[in-house]
Every structure is written in C-alpha cells, then in structure tokens.
Structure 1
Amino acid sequence: MSDPSTASIVSTPRAEQPTETVSPVGAPQGDRKEKPRGLLGDAWLDLRRKPLFWISALFILLFLLMAAFPQLFTSGDAVNGSLDRSLGKPSGDAWFGYDFQGRDVYARVIYGARASIVVSVLSVLGTLLVGGAMGVIAGYRGGWVDAVLSRVADVFFGLPFVLGAIVILTTFNGSGTSNSQWKIMGLVTVSLIVLSWPVVMRLMRSSVLSTKEADYIVAARALGAGTGRIVLKHLLPNCLAPLLVYGTIMVGSFIGAEATLSFLGVGLKSPVVSWGIMISESQSFIRVSPSLLFFPSLFLVLAVLSFVMLGEAVREALDPKLR
C-alpha cells in the first residue's frame, strides 16, 4: 500500500512546475539574440577594438580640420612675409621659425595641408570612379569588351608614373607662371587619375568576375532583373571592399606623389602653399636652417602614414582570414 504523501507528490501535475515560457512574436525579450551583422557591421566591430585604427583616424581628422579650417590653428600669413625676419629661428611669435622670405613656417605648414589633401582626395575619387566603371564594364560584359579595355589599361599601366606625370604636366602646364592655383591643382589631379586608374580597373574587374556567377546574381537574372539593377543592387555592394581598402591607402600615396611632383618643379607652384613646395624651397638652406625641411617633412610623413595605417586596419577588418 502506497504512502498517501508519496501518492500526492506523484499525482502533482507537471504544469504546476516552473517551465520556460515562449514570448509571442513581436513581444519584447530581454535575452533575444542579436540580429546577424553583415560584412561592414563585423568590420566596424573589429575596427573599434584596434588602437591603430583610432590613432590613424585621429591624425586624419586633425589633417582634415587643418585643410578645411586652417584659421583654427593659426592666425599667421602663409603667403606674405618680411625680409627682415629671413631665416628667423623658432620663437613664441613663430613656432617653427621663418623661411628665407620671412614667411611664418608654422602658418605655411598648416595651410599647406589644404592643397596636398584636396589634390589627393580628388585624385582618389576620380581614380575610383574611372577605374571602377571600367572594371565593372570589363568584368560584367566580358568578351571583346573585356579584351579591349584590358589592353588599354595595360598601355597606361606600363607608363612610368613619375615620367608620365612629368610629360603630362610639362605639356599642359608649361612654365605655370600665368596659371591660377586651381588650374594647376586640376592638372595635377588629372595626371594622377590618368596614371592610376588601371590598378583600380584590375581590382574591380577581378571582383566582378568572381561575383557575377554567384547564386544570387543568377537568381536575379532569372527573375528578369535588368543589367542596371544587377550591377547597382547586387554587384557593387559586394565588390566595394577591395576598393575601399585600396582607396584609403591611395590617399596617402597621392599625398606623397603630389609632394614629389611639386619638389621636382612640375607639380604645384607658388603662390600655392603645399608641403612639397616647402620641401623644394628648403633644400638650399638645409645647413643654415634645417627646420625649414624638418617640419613640412614631418607633417607629410605623418599624413602618409596615417592613411596607410588606416587602410591596413580596414583591410584586416574586411578580410575574415586576417582577424
């Protein structure tokens, strides 16, 4: 005969025991799983953990502020000077001293960021647009279109960068004495675009070739989607990662390229203020006043390294194999 207490325990319904409740669809849940992130979401989450990203981004923000609002950093005159202050040493009035024409070196370094960064950013945007469009057309259309565009890119790719820029700038710029600063900056920008777009074209072409036969592209084509919709809606969003990385690094490269051309005397010219012009003008006074070379070179190196480090951080974040 069973114990009544035991029988009462056994007969207790299981519904009285605490069970896990399931909230209806749409009800707020505190422990609901996070929504799956895409490639850019995962990349941003990874970037936020990298000190290299924040350091390079801070320097880039500083240089962009210098280019956009130089008055926030200095009230000096970057163009006019007084010969009685020629080659003056650094002081409280001029932190970096004066150049051989008595101009404030600190003010010139601050204002020099504008020309260097504007030329490099515009050159990168133009290169990405031209090279990206050519790469999409060549990769998606294929056939003779791909062959023709690839051979044209090979011709430009075979041109030496510095020699090609010298030929272009000396042909269209001449002495440059009667040209406005915006015309000179435009010529330098166009020369950089003309000599750099084949690399972007190859990157975009390879990305399109590896993506255009994916299942979602085939499905969109089978459902009757047009070429424009497939390219803009499906191809481009999945092919922009390599261009984003290369474009970030290319900004730093173009800052150095602009400084190189200005140093050689075929790029930007006075009265434009740029770091390359300052380095070119200081080479004759390196023994008398080495600060004339040191300060613009320091800012140039920091700007180039900042964009290169940012590009490397973005590359590691977008590539799952490098995480």
Structure 2
Amino acid sequence: MPDPYAPKEAITHGDGGPAALAIGEAESLERPPGAGPGGAPTGKPRSLWSDAWHDLRRNPVFLISALIILFLLVIAVWPQLIADGNPYRADLAKAQAGPEPGHPFGYDTQGRDVYTRVVHGARASITVGVCATAGAALLGSLLGGLAGFFGGWWDTLLSRIADIFFGIPVILGGLVFLSVVTSSTVWPVVGFIVLLGWPQIARIARGAVVTAKQNDYVQAARALGAGNGRTLLRHIAPNAVAPVIVVATIALGTYISLEATLSFLGAGLKPPTVSWGIDISAASTSIRNAPHMLLWPAGALSITVLAFIMLGDAVRDALDPKLR
C-alpha cells in the first residue's frame, strides 16, 4: 500500500492508477484557461467576436440562412444569371397561362413571365431592406449612443422624440407619407422606413452604451486621461455594438415585408418597378383563376423574410453570453 505522505512523484509512478488520474485532474483544474500542459499558454483567449464566429460556423440555422441570403444577394445584383428574360415583355395571348417549358412559373394577367419577374423582383425588395436597415442602424446608433454616453437633457430630449415616433402607426404613416410621393424609385420607401425605424435601434444603442460605460475598463481609460471621443469610440462602441447588430439583422427581414405590404396597398413602390409586393397586389384579384401568380412571389417573399429572421436569431444566440 503506497505511503499517503510520499511525494507526488512517488505516487504517480506505475501504469496509471487512481492516484495518477486524481493528480492529473487536479492539475487540469489548477491550469489557467488557455494554458497547455505545464501551464504554458497555448494562445490568446478568444474574444466575444471570435467565440461568436466559432459558434455560428457550427450552427446549421446560421449556415442555411446565410446560404439563402447569399443566393438572394447574388440574384439581386445579377438576375441574368438564372433569368435572362425581360420582366417587362408581355404577350396578352398567354395572359394567366400556367407553366410551360421554359416558363416554369406561368404568366401573369398581362402575359409576362412570372419566373423572370420573381427573380428580378428580388433587387428592389432586398435593396429596400438593406438600405433601410443600414440607415436606421447608423442614425439610431449615433443618436442613441450619444444620448447614453452624455445623458442629461440630450438623453431626455431623444427619449421624448422617440416616444413620438413610436406612437405613429407604421402602415397608416406609410400610406400618408408615401401617398404624396410620385417617384417610382426605392428611395422614398427607404427614407420612410429609416424615419420610423431609428427609434427602436436608438433605444437599444442607448441601453448598451449606458451599460458599457459603467465597466471598469472605461473608468480606467478616463483615469488615464482619455477624452470623451476616444473613450466612446475605442472602449465603449466596440463593446456596445453587438445588440445593435442583432436587432438590425432581425429588423431587415421586417423591413422587406413592410415594403411589400406598402407596395401591396399601392403606397410603396410603383410600376414600372419590379417588386414582389406589386406582383402580389396585381395577382390578388385573380387568385381563383391563376393562383400561380400569387404563390410564387409570395413564396419568395416569405423565404427571404424567414432567412433574415433566422440569421438574426442565430447571431443573437452567438453574441448573447447569457444564452451560451
């Protein structure tokens, strides 16, 4: 029987009994994170972003949604890759005709190829979603970040202005605001969505900045003489941007569906712009005679919105330490 007071080296000799396993387990528990055998460091500890990317690469929801979004972005930029037809070309002799070789989605009420219009419609819808999200995220992050950092009257003023915008019904506001716009481009719709979308992101950014500026590293930076600009940009912003990215990613899908809703009601994009919302509105009166006119653009819209929402959920799970 081994002497319990013998040195560790004397106990660990042999072919690896219970004592050797216990000592190895104790050494692994005493070893600091990121250190290898003997306490030697194996590399730098991973940051929040490295951990998030490590989790995202192994998340099937993220991979599937990212592939769908990548495909949509490619056809939005180069729709000719999979649809070389003209979305405006009409043949009234084939109005509301069903699928046929070379035209798998059939024709609409004016004899235009539904497949070509669905592919080309991705450009307008995704352009509105991406540009509106970028504008709302930049404006909301700027105003909310400044309000959370400086506080005082600026914070109170921003909160009251945000409350006013929160009280405006989105659909009703869009009908009123866009009814006086005669442009058929996407920019009036983008501007309206940014106008009503920034308060939500501003509140998220304000809360994140208020939380981040209370951390010890911010107090240390101030004690070392860092000014407001350096403290905000170098120490607070990188640690407060994660919630904004999560909310903006989820909101992107919502903005695409909002554009389609406004276009369906006749207040969003207007012909001759090719849009899923416009095609859904035109097909709503012929759903009994030609349901294919409605199903294909509505299906493309649903898949796009779902992909962005799934991507936002995956990013939220990866960036939120509480969900790990």
Note whether the superposition's TM-score is higher than 0.5: yes
Are 2:92 and 1:83 equivalent residues in the alignment? Answer: yes
**Which segments of structure 1 move beyond 3 Å, counting only runs of 4 or more?**
none
CA distance in 2, matches of 1:59, 1:91: 26
- Could you tell me which residue of structure 2 aligns to residue 57 of structure 1? 66
Task: Compute the displacement of 1:245 (Å).
Answer: 0.7
CA distance in 2, matches of 1:137, 1:244: 17
After superposition, residues 64-213 of structure 1 pair within 5 angstroms as 64-171=73-180, 173=181, 176=182, 179=183, 181-182=184-185, 185-213=186-214
Q: List alignment gaps of at least 5 residues for structure 1.
A: 1-30
Amino acid at match of 1:259: A
CA distance in 2, matches of 1:301, 1:55: 15
Cα-to-partner distance string for 1:115-135 (whole Å, 9 max, x where unaligned): 000011000000001111110
Task: Compute the displacement of 1:201 (Å).
Answer: 0.7
- Could you tell me which residue of structure 1 aligns to residue 218 of structure 2? 217
- Could you tell me which residue of structure 1 aligns to residue 15 of structure 2? none
C-alpha RMSD over aligned residues: 1.3
Distance verdict in 2 for CA 1:32–1:218, change over 3 Å: closer
> Is the partner of 1:196 in helix, strand or coil?
helix
Contact (CA 8 Å) 1:165, 1:195: kept in 2 or not? Answer: no
CA distance in 2, matches of 1:213, 1:93: 62
- Could you tell me which residue of structure 2 aligns to residue 295 of structure 1? 296
- Could you tell me which residue of structure 2 aligns to residue 16 of structure 1? none
Amino acid at match of 2:299: L
Cα-to-partner distance string for 1:264-293 (whole Å, 9 max, x where unaligned): 000001100010001000011101100000
CA distance in 2, matches of 1:229, 1:143: 20
CA distance in 1, matches of 2:160, 2:49: 34
- Could you tell me which residue of structure 1 aligns to residue 318 of structure 2? 317
Q: How high is the TM-score relative to the length of structure 2?
A: 0.86
CA distance in 2, matches of 1:73, 1:156: 41
> Is the partner of 1:231 in helix, strand or coil?
helix
- Could you tell me which residue of structure 2 aligns to residue 238 of structure 1? 239
Task: Compute the displacement of 1:32 (Å).
Answer: 5.6
Q: List alignment gaps of at least 5 residues for structure 2.
A: 1-39
Task: Compute the displacement of 1:34 (Å).
Answer: 3.3
Contact (CA 8 Å) 1:278, 1:296: kept in 2 or not? Answer: yes
CA distance in 1, matches of 2:164, 2:277: 29
Alignment: residue pair count = 286
Q: How high is the TM-score relative to the length of structure 1?
A: 0.86
CA distance in 2, matches of 1:321, 1:91: 53
CA distance in 1, matches of 2:41, 2:98: 65
Larger Rg: 1
CA distance in 2, matches of 1:45, 1:265: 44
CA distance in 2, matches of 1:166, 1:285: 24
CA distance in 2, matches of 1:251, 1:143: 32
